[in-house]
Amino acid sequence: DTAVSQTPKYLVTQMGNDKSIKCEQNLGHDTMYWYKQDSKKFLKIMFSYNNKELIINETVPNRFSPKSPDKAHLNLHINSLELGDSAVYFCASSQDTQPQHFGDGTRLSIL
């Protein structure tokens, strides 16, 4: 009955690789988000999609490319991974003026 689910939970990879993180929500929400939480626990929004349309794109390197195949899914693809990409990535979703619901995160570690 998980509302917002992310896979994988842990991702360990080498510098320079390309990786993807998947997110799915079963709440029927029309807006989905990606956030990055750094080693100091600071949470910052990266992207937001509303009805499959990109509406928020913060200052994020273009190595990061979100893709929303439908309203219930928002994936994050990262090319040429760098050490500084190590973080926990959270997916969230919301509907209308209701609060955002977060997944449990994907911990990305770059070796």
Partner 1 sequence: GENVEQHPSTLSVQEGDSAVIKCTYSDSASNYFPWYKQELGKGPQLIIDIRSNVGEKKDQRIAVTLNKTAKHFSLHITETQPEDSAVYFCAASRKGTSYGKLTFGQGTILTVHP
Residues 6 or more apart from 57 whose CB is under 8 A from it? 47
Q: Please report whether residue 95 would count as binding partner 1 according to CB under 8 A.
A: yes
Q: Which stretch binds partner 1 (CB under 8 A): 13-21, 38-46, 62-70, 74-82?
A: 38-46
Q: Please report whether residue 66 would count as binding partner 1 according to CB under 8 A.
A: no
Between residues 17 and 51, which has the closer beta carbon with respect to partner 1?
Answer: 51
Contact 13, 77 (CB under 8 A): no
Q: Please report whether residue 26 would count as binding partner 1 according to CB under 8 A.
A: no
Residues 6 or more apart from 71 whose CB is under 8 A from it? 29, 30, 32, 51, 52
Helix (H/G/I), strand (E/B), else coil: 83: helix
Q: Please report whether residue 4 would count as binding partner 1 according to CB under 8 A.
A: yes
Contact residues for partner 1, defined by CB under 8 A:
4, 29-31, 40-45, 48, 50, 55-56, 90, 92, 94-105
